[in-house]
Chain A
Amino acid sequence: MSDTPRADFWFSIAVTVLGVAVVAESLRMPRLENLGVHPMSAPGLTPGLIGLVLAGLGAALFLRTARVQTAATAAPAESEAGGGRRLAISMALCLIYAIVLLGWLPFWLATAVFVFAFVLTFTWQQRAAARLAATAAALAISVAAAVTLLFARFFLVHLP
């Protein structure tokens, strides 16, 4: 029934807890009676309804997955482990660029550093080091210049 029973099990608990928390939070929202508004237009009405449905769906998923969750989990294949490494590095590089570099360096420089680091990291074993660095640097400079000029001058958008 499911390819990911263990993840489904824990996610079903998270969804149920979220649904219950949303219902509780909705009940805490003001009814605005002091403003003379109709009680059926209270701000918490719709979130409360959605929270109830989510809690119900989470519980249904929990009941279904609880039965199969205890099955033994196979060790990840080698290719999956490699995929996990690529994923972790990609996510780290993207988060560093978006959260750290963009607030710290000018947009064009942060973009050039990010593209250079990304290309270099993932193509390190494919070519000779000097040629690789040159390719990565050329791409980084081109992207930084093109994005900055095209978007700021042609599309007239603000850059981070």
Chain B
Amino acid sequence: MGALGGLAAAVGHLAQPMSLFNVAWATLLGMAVGMLPGLTATLGIALLTTLTFRMAPGDAILILICMYVGAIYGGSRTAILLNIPGTPANAASALDGFPLARAGRAGEAMGLATFGSFFGGLVGTLMLALIAPQLAEFGLRFQSFEFFWLAIFGVVISGRLTAMHDPIKGWIAGFLGLLLAQVGQEGIHAYQRFAYGSVDLAGGLGLLPALVGAFGFAEILCVMKQPAYETVRDMGGRVLPRMRDIAARWWTIGRSGVLGTSMGIIPGVGEDMGAWVSYAAARRASASPETFGQGNTEGLIASETGNNAAVPGAIIPVLTLAVPGSAPAAVLLAAMFIHGVRPGPLIMIENPGFVFEVAAMLFWASVGILALGLVLTKPMLVVLRVSREHLMPIIFVLCVVGSFAIASRVFDVWVMLGFGILGFALRQMNYPMAPLVLGIVLGDILDKNFRRGMVLSDGSLEPFFTRPISAVLASLTIITILWGLAPVCNAIARMLGRPS
């Protein structure tokens, strides 16, 4: 009752005209960002962070959360209408959404996706309010040894799950991110690493310019390299689904909500896996799995519920351990630090109401996508009629302004350009971006806690493996690595008598 009461009070407290106005425009902007192929939730939050850092912290974080929720939902429109996921989190939605649109049921598909996203957000919000206080309390047992393993485990599991066919690439991306985070003045003795006399490098590589480059400039180059996508002319069918259709799928919605939130909690995995796991579970549970991929409404609802439920899920470790559950959540974490909020295990002691405030923001953002998604379905199609030749130069101008705005350093624009070119090259070679981002965010945590742990243990590695939570995290890391090695998987498959 304590958690639910706190959530209800925070929801009521946020129901102010100015807050609701911010919810409306930021969610709408997020939907537009999500709808446009090439623009992701990560880029949207990174750009808005640079633009809202002079606002009051509560307003700024509300706007960023609405952008996050709106963008993950908005990508479903593009997936349904163009068969192009607006954001990577909507790839599973295209499998059944596009066949529905081709069958003249685009309106119905968008309506179902809207309700699925709304309920996914609600389930995730509820789980956040219930789980986050418990996890924060559990996090109080973490010391340097545990945080070291948490950082390593985050990079390893993220690299494994975002590069299922080639985990080495995921791990290289993750450790590159950890390495890039070591550039600049370190946090224990203030020694300038890899600076070579440059004042700019001594200040470190800014997370936001790096993300704007990796998700903005790199996407511009990817989009311009590809053949032009078709622009939308019209859509068909009714938008508002029948309530009995929604009610008939309550079990799919509930299961996908829980699965999506759970996937979101795993560091660096995020919304994409939330959607895919929910989709796979719905298919397994279906009486007619052969219809999945051919316009099955249950598949569409499962994936959209799963990816939007993963948003609150990804924010749970942000609030309680200061470790992001996804790439957009990494930017949100950085934004919280910029605004003077210190998430982590002490959050329920230092700022106990904040967890429920964030849950209330997620609730209102979910209400925003439901209301705006249903009311503005047809007007929002205008966004998809903008050609890339007109859109991309505008996005690049925003990337330049956004990377410059935080510190007014031209160096940050160069960082953005450098990360853009690096990100583009990595994408062309099928390296995932999420582990890179997670590595950049976790680099400082890894560095400080590894060295503190080594000092505490006087150079012994024993506590890293013998303390109970450390041992669990170390075991999970090792199992994840072994699971990603083809010879090990083949040997296990042979032992179980299955074809490798």
Whether B194 is near chain A, meaning CB under 8 Å from some CB there, is yes
In the assembled complex, the Cα of A102 lies from the Cα of B416 at a distance in Å of 15
A1 contact set on B, CB distance < 8 A: 165-166
A29 contact set on B, CB distance < 8 A: 191, 193
A47 contact set on B, CB distance < 8 A: 179, 182, 193-194
B394 contact set on A, CB distance < 8 A: 115, 143
Whether B166 pairs with A2 at a CB distance below 8 angstroms is yes
Per a CB cutoff under 8 Å, which of A53, A118, A122 touches B175? A53
In the assembled complex, the Cα of A64 lies from the Cα of B168 at a distance in Å of 10
Residue of B with least CB distance to A118:
B393
Interface residues of B in 360-400 (CB under 8 A from A): 387, 389-390, 392-394, 396-398, 400
Residue of A with least CB distance to B457:
A40
Q: Which of A18, A39, A87 has the most CB of B within 10 A?
A: A87
Whether B429 pairs with A8 at a CB distance below 8 angstroms is yes
A158 contact set on B, CB distance < 8 A: 404-405, 408
In the assembled complex, the Cα of A8 lies from the Cα of B429 at a distance in Å of 7
In the assembled complex, the Cα of A42 lies from the Cα of B189 at a distance in Å of 8
Whether A3 pairs with B430 at a CB distance below 8 angstroms is yes
Whether A40 pairs with B455 at a CB distance below 8 angstroms is yes
In the assembled complex, the Cα of A136 lies from the Cα of B83 at a distance in Å of 29
A129 contact set on B, CB distance < 8 A: none
Dominant secondary structure of chain B at its interface with chain A: helix
A2 contact set on B, CB distance < 8 A: 166, 430
Assuming the contacts A22-B179, A61-B168, A90-B221, asked whether A160 and B193 have C-beta atoms less than 8 A apart, the reply is: no
* Contact segment of B47-55, B106-114, B130-138: B47-55
Interface size class of B (residues with CB under 8 A): 35 or more
In the assembled complex, the Cα of A15 lies from the Cα of B436 at a distance in Å of 14
Residue of B with least CB distance to A151:
B401
Assuming the contacts A43-B186, A61-B172, asked whether A157 and B397 have C-beta atoms less than 8 A apart, the reply is: no
Whether B405 pairs with A157 at a CB distance below 8 angstroms is yes
In the assembled complex, the Cα of A47 lies from the Cα of B447 at a distance in Å of 8
Whether A143 pairs with B397 at a CB distance below 8 angstroms is yes
Whether B451 is near chain A, meaning CB under 8 Å from some CB there, is yes
Q: B287 → chain A, closest Cβ, in Å?
A: 36
B165 contact set on A, CB distance < 8 A: 1
Whether B401 pairs with A94 at a CB distance below 8 angstroms is no
Whether A155 pairs with B51 at a CB distance below 8 angstroms is yes
Q: A97 → chain B, closest Cβ, in Å?
A: 7
Per a CB cutoff under 8 Å, which of A3, A46, A118, A119 touches B447? A46
Chain B 254-290 interface 0/1 with A at a Cβ cutoff of 8 Å (1 = within): 0000000000000000000000000000000000000
In the assembled complex, the Cα of A94 lies from the Cα of B430 at a distance in Å of 24
Interface residues of B in 152-200 (CB under 8 A from A): 165-166, 168-169, 171-172, 175-176, 178-179, 182, 186, 188-189, 191, 193-194
Whether B458 is near chain A, meaning CB under 8 Å from some CB there, is yes
Q: A56 → chain B, closest Cβ, in Å?
A: 9
Whether B227 is near chain A, meaning CB under 8 Å from some CB there, is yes
Assuming the contacts A83-B226, A143-B397, asked whether A57 and B451 have C-beta atoms less than 8 A apart, the reply is: no
Per a CB cutoff under 8 Å, which of A7, A90, A99, A155 touches B54? A155
A86 contact set on B, CB distance < 8 A: 224-225
Assuming the contacts A54-B172, A54-B175, asked whether A49 and B397 have C-beta atoms less than 8 A apart, the reply is: no
A-B contacts, 28 of them at CB < 8 A, read A1-B166, A2-B430, A4-B428, A11-B429, A15-B172, A41-B189, A41-B451, A42-B451, A43-B191, A46-B446, A47-B179, A57-B175, A61-B169, A83-B227, A87-B224, A90-B220, A90-B392, A93-B393, A98-B417, A115-B397, A118-B389, A119-B389, A147-B397, A147-B398, A147-B401, A155-B405, A156-B54, A160-B404
Contacts A2-B430, A102-B413 aside, 6 further interface pairs with beta carbons under 8 A come to: A43-B191, A50-B175, A94-B396, A122-B389, A147-B398, A155-B51
Closest 6 CB pairs of A and B: A40-B454, A118-B393, A157-B405, A90-B224, A122-B389, A43-B191
